[in-house]
Structure 1
Amino acid sequence: MSAPANPHRGDLILFMAATFTASWAAWAVAIALGGPAANPAALVPHLLGAFGPMVGALVLRIRRARRGAPVPEHAVRFRPAHLVGAPLLLVLASATVLGAVLLAHVAGGPGVSAEGALAAVQGSGGLAVFLVNMVVAGPLAEEPGWRGTAYPRMRASMGRFRIGLVLGVIWAVWHLPLFFLDGTVQHQLGLLSPSGVLFAVSSIPMTMLVCCAYERAGVLAAIAVHFATNTTMVLLGVHAPVAQAMIMGFQVIVVAVLLATQRRGSGPTAEPAARPQPAVG
């Protein structure tokens, strides 16, 4: 039996086109300027590129408003309970990374260094600047797009596992220019190095984890899990392939547990589709 046609196919194509155009154009400028590590002027287009998914989300928001269309059926509306669920998922995501790194150390990988975490914070200009950068440059700039906009529309015709594969691959490809931008984590890893390849592959379990968070507590939880994972990895200085592989394994286990414990009726279709939604939609 063939898969059902996606009524949001046009929206998804427009979202992806707007997202990739906005991000890759900005990053192309940053690369032409030599990258943030060589030229401070490249920092602005580098940061602006992270907001490509937000641009895509706004484009679809405007389009939906002009058409008077309802919020997608699978969009997760904000509920007060999300203010509790999101922090719990944040802690879970951070613990997943920490546990994986500790296990990787037992298996012969590098250990946890407080000096490395302190250097990462100081190198960003202090704790406040570090935290703001970790919230804005990735989670806040991306999640209203990838999870708040693309995911509900993909969910109309795809299962969770398939979305994890498809959106994970798209997310990995979207990051590709950063491997050529001096001053980024991806550039330090190297595109064809074991760590670079694992970074790309890790987009799939990471996508599944953040999508599970979105289904449980909306965009707020997606931002929280994305932030917790990125921040913990930066503070722990995760670069070794063994640690990256362990993190992916832990994420797969957590995703399986979250899916197995999700209550019936608690998913994104628990409320009518036409109910107003404060998120991007």
Structure 2
Amino acid sequence: MARAAEAWTVIKRRLVEFAVVCLVLTWVPWAVLGLSGANVDEGAGSLVFSLAASGPSLAALVMWLRHRERRRRGHWSWRWPVAAVGLGALAPFAACVLSGRLPDLPGHASSVVAGAGGVLGAAAYTFLAGPVSEEFGWRGYVQPRLRQYYGPLGTSLILGAAWGLWHVPLYFLPGTGQHDDGLFTEQGLTFFLALFPLTYLMLFVTERLRGGVPAAILVHAAWNLTEQLVPPLGHAVWLELLVVTATAVAVGSYWRRTLPATVR
């Protein structure tokens, strides 16, 4: 009992340390950019912004090196890449279809890809801006430590809240998509609410399907890319939230049914 309490104390201390490193690496540069009025879309401002956006993954690297901890690796299987891409793309695409915007998708997607410098440019940006820069921290470092003491739902609620909090400064930084959407809008509210079921889906593919961080990167990339390729959803963002929440509930039901009775 005492040993378990001591282990949890160590984990909490490491998580707090991770949070401090992550916020210093991210929020401080973003604050400097915002206060200086720097352009985050080009030049030095863009470079600083991109490095700061990698705060979660960089913080995980610092923690792994500092404490010489082993990083958990995924298990290769055809199931988790397919599930990751499908679960990530489903809600934005379904919202596009249900809202009647499907006929506009080809034209909008073509313009987005062209604006990103072609297919390779769009793919590179999709993976680096968010998935790779964040997931080694959220799903690689924080998630497995929370899972030692919390169930899937508890872990998803805590990690989803932390993930959302980390994004808040972007709503006050001109030049970002979040700033354009606005914090106190439908887009802002549904963005934060969607992080909770999305976190649960990432937990499913990383843990239940044993895909590890690569699976989380695929879910994150599929979500981001599909959201960019489909036409602006407008009020249909609520459909997107409904679909991703229903998907998480369905996945949770499946996960529970397939767990051995001894660990339910």
With the shorter chain as reference, the TM-score category is 0.7 to 0.9
CA distance in structure 1 between the aligned counterparts of 2:212 and 2:251, rounded to whole angstroms: 14
Deviation at 1:33, TM superposition (A): 3.8
Deviation at 1:110, TM superposition (A): 8.7
Find the partner of 2:83 among 88, 101, 104: 88
Deviation at 1:231, TM superposition (A): 0.5
The 8 Å contact of residues 97 and 232 in structure 1, kept in 2 or not, is answered as yes
CA distance in structure 2 between the aligned counterparts of 1:237 and 1:21, rounded to whole angstroms: 35
CA distance in structure 1 between the aligned counterparts of 2:70 and 2:88, rounded to whole angstroms: 32
1:100 corresponds in structure 2 to 95
Deviation at 1:123, TM superposition (A): 1.7
The 8 Å contact of residues 88 and 223 in structure 2, kept in 1 or not, is answered as yes
The 8 Å contact of residues 33 and 42 in structure 1, kept in 2 or not, is answered as no
2:175 corresponds in structure 1 to 183
Find the partner of 1:153 among 145, 151, 155: 145
Query: Relative to 1, partners in 2 of residues 1:201 and 1:84: Cα closer, same or farther, differing over 3 Å?
Result: closer
Deviations 1:165-200 (A, max 9, x none): 221111111111111222211011012222122222
Q: What amino acid does structure 2 have at the position aligned with 1:89?
A: A
2:223 corresponds in structure 1 to 229
CA distance in structure 1 between the aligned counterparts of 2:164 and 2:144, rounded to whole angstroms: 19
Unpaired runs of 5+ residues, structure 2, are none
Deviation at 1:245, TM superposition (A): 1.7
Give RMSD over aligned pairs: 2.3
2:238 corresponds in structure 1 to 245
The 8 Å contact of residues 206 and 248 in structure 1, kept in 2 or not, is answered as no
The 8 Å contact of residues 96 and 233 in structure 2, kept in 1 or not, is answered as no
2:18 corresponds in structure 1 to 15
Deviation at 1:115, TM superposition (A): 1.9
CA distance in structure 2 between the aligned counterparts of 1:159 and 1:131, rounded to whole angstroms: 34
Size of the aligned set, in residue pairs, is: 250
Unpaired runs of 5+ residues, structure 1, are 270-281
The 8 Å contact of residues 179 and 186 in structure 1, kept in 2 or not, is answered as yes
Q: Where does 1:134-145 land on structure 2 (aligned, <5 Å)? A: 134-145=126-137
The 8 Å contact of residues 29 and 42 in structure 1, kept in 2 or not, is answered as no
Q: What amino acid does structure 2 have at the position aligned with 1:58?
A: L
Deviation at 1:111, TM superposition (A): 6.4
Query: Relative to 1, partners in 2 of residues 1:239 and 1:45: Cα closer, same or farther, differing over 3 Å?
Result: farther
The 8 Å contact of residues 90 and 244 in structure 2, kept in 1 or not, is answered as no
Deviation at 1:95, TM superposition (A): 2.6
CA distance in structure 1 between the aligned counterparts of 2:86 and 2:108, rounded to whole angstroms: 21
CA distance in structure 2 between the aligned counterparts of 1:194 and 1:111, rounded to whole angstroms: 24
1:35 corresponds in structure 2 to 39
The 8 Å contact of residues 40 and 46 in structure 2, kept in 1 or not, is answered as yes
Deviations 1:109-161 (A, max 9, x none): 79643222222222222221111011011101111110111001011111211
Find the partner of 2:125 among 113, 125, 133: 133
CA distance in structure 2 between the aligned counterparts of 1:198 and 1:255, rounded to whole angstroms: 15
